[in-house]
Amino acid sequence: MTSAVAKCSVFIATSLDGFISRTDGSIDWLDEANTRVPKGEDCGYEQFMSTVDALVMGRHTFELARSFGEWPYGHTPVFVLSSRVTSLPGDVPNTVRLSCEEPATLVAQLSAQNMKHLYIDGGVTIQRFLASALIDEVTITRIPILIGSGRPLFGPLSQDVRLEHISTHAFNFGFVQSKYRVIKAPNPLMQPTGHKRPAAD
């Protein structure tokens, strides 16, 4: 491979009980919490976005983003992962592409296009990338509310994922943002069963 593998980051808000939206996809609780955020405070989002070469998201997150009215991602390329949808609506920005690739394949493709930093968004997509050991960094902003049920940020894993805490900031409006680096274990699917176990990177 001629290019380094792109760094994959998560930057997301959850309820204190770990949900990114209610079961029906609504984020009314987050919108309500955001009314308490001072004007001009974006909890580091713009700074993060300025380092991102492309977004990768599932169809649910894409539909949510479309519902915002104004397209929220400017000129940043967006890759919508879907194995079911075969075409995008005609009115989406031309920065949006559909992909049916597996996470590792897509990351390899985008890395080959010299992309260095991918923003992985949406619960199912994040879980798939985590399960494929592709996530490098996770920034979670905890909203001080329990919603009881909904779409969880995290899901089942075939093995534990260890993280290294990088930083935490508690905002005075009650949000707590923590940034972690994922400690990459050797991919068990790529491990020989014998003695030649590859070292973790």
Which positions lie near a copy of itself, rule CB under 8 A? 16-18, 29, 130, 140, 142, 144-149, 152-165, 167-168, 170, 174-176, 178, 180
CB of 13 to a copy of itself, least distance (A): 14
In the complex with a copy of itself, which residue's Cβ is closer, 79 or 175?
A: 175
User: Measured between alpha carbons, how far is residue 105 from residues 81, 99, 102, 113, 116 in Å?
Assistant: 12, 10, 5, 13, 15
Closer of 77 and 150 to a copy of itself (Cβ): 150
**Three-point CA angle 87, 91, 93, nearest 5°:** 90
Which residue's CB is nearer to a copy of itself, number 111 or number 127? 127
Q: Nearest approach, Cβ of 20 to a copy of itself (angstroms)?
A: 13
- Bridge partners for 96 per DSSP: 78
Q: Of 130, 123, 83, nearest to 107 (Cα)?
A: 130
30 vs 115 by CB, closer to a copy of itself = 30
- 100, 105, 107, 113: CA torsion to nearest 10: -100
User: CB of residue 140 vs a copy of itself: minimum separation in angstroms?
Assistant: 8
